[in-house]
Structure 1
Amino acid sequence: MTRQLQLAYAFKRPRTAVPGMAMLDPSVTAMRVHPGDLDLYMHVNNGVYLQMMDIARTNLLADLGAIGALAERSWYPVLAASTMTYRRSLKLWDRFEITSRVLGWDARVVYLEQVFTRGGERCARGVVAARFLSRSGDRIPGHDVAAAFDPDAVAPGLPDDVRAWADAVGVAHRS
């Protein structure tokens, strides 16, 4: 529940936009492991990683100054797919960072990478495919989302592993 409250706060009272931040620039969110984040094995529960990623993605939107742009357009993000890899456990009171960055987009979704690090050492990596919808139910193409947040952004080629994953789970744009 504490991470849900933190997400609500990050959305309702977003941090200040970073001047000059471009769509493909990384956003860093610092966090600390709380008792409610732990599972019975005394490390962060796998589901909590996803909640932490929600907060970090909201901070990325805030850093881009995109929260207001979303509200003006009546758009909101939803996840179409996600995948995680874990290397090292996060334990009670550990301080860590989540670095979130847009990897690219296609006609359907925007792809992001979110890397958890503690003391400069990678603990976990998440890749997500985010779809944007309008309140009227329309799907917003990834290139329209990118243009709304950063008119100068040019879609980079996706890393091979992300492209293969997107094809395998069926979220990639099909021509």
Structure 2
Amino acid sequence: MKVVNVVVLAAFLLLDCYYFLRILFVVLHAKLVAQRKSPLDVFVTRGVCLTTDLDCSCHMNNARYLRELDFARTHMLFSSGLWKTLKHLKAGVVVGSNTIRYRREINLFQLYNIHTQIKYWDEKSLYIEQRYINTKDKFVFAIAIICFRVLRSTPREVLREHGHISIDSPEMPEDIALFVKYNEASSAMLRSETKSE
């Protein structure tokens, strides 16, 4: 029994066990409970600000927003079946960049929904909008744009394989266009810095 206690204690000290347990719960819920939807639909996940989410100002820590968005994207990938399609194609996805704008703090025990939706794609990436929305008055606490880079495939190929034949991307929203432009400028700047070293 002592060995088990030591192993459990060591696991919680050395690994972010809560993260892995939460991911497991999200995946199981998405596969077994969640309604099957198109990957282009809006996916809603529910959340609450707990004591473990707080910063020194007693509202949700900025880093926790991004962590919760990660769980919401995982839910979207599995409940839509997109993860299965990616694995079939031997493809993957990784966050290439993101931006988030905080509009109002989320306080202790505040309930919220996260709305996750693919808004646009190009030859390399899916662009996902995620919104924290107050469950009471529908106020948007925060809004994020995520560049989800598709590895070893293309967004069009993934969506076609998933059943969306010859699908074209919606028109690029203005905020995503500015986000893409910023990323391009940042990449150009960093490349020029590397050449000058």
- Which bracket does the TM-score occupy, shorter chain normalised? 0.7 to 0.9
List aligned pairs for 1:72-83, cutoff 5 A.
72-83=88-99
Deviation (angstroms), 1:13: 5.4
The match for 1:122 is: 140
Contact kept, 8 Å, 1:23 with 1:150, in 2: the verdict is no
Counterpart CA distance in 1 for 2:35 and 2:50 is: 28
1:18 aligns with 2:51: no
Question: Of the candidates 25, 43, 68, which is equivalent to residue 84 of structure 2?
Answer: 68
- Normalising by structure 2, we get a TM-score of 0.75
Greater helix content: 2
- The share of aligned pairs that are identical, in percent, is 24
Counterpart CA distance in 1 for 2:99 and 2:110 is: 23
Deviations 1:57-95, CA, capped at 9 Å, x for gaps: 111112312232233333322101100011111111111
Q: Which amino acid aligns with 2:74?
A: T
Number of aligned residues: 165
- Normalising by structure 1, we get a TM-score of 0.84
The match for 1:163 is: 177
Which runs of 4 or more aligned residues in structure 1 lie more than 6 Å from their structure 2 counterparts after TM superposition?
A: none
Unaligned runs of 5+ in 2: 1-15, 186-197
Q: Highest relative contact order (Cα 8 Å, sep 6+), 1 or 2?
A: 1
Counterpart CA distance in 2 for 1:33 and 1:4 is: 19
Deviation (angstroms), 1:132: 2.0
Unaligned runs of 5+ in 1: none
Q: Radius of gyration: which is bigger?
A: 2
- Quote the RMSD (CA, aligned, Å): 2.0
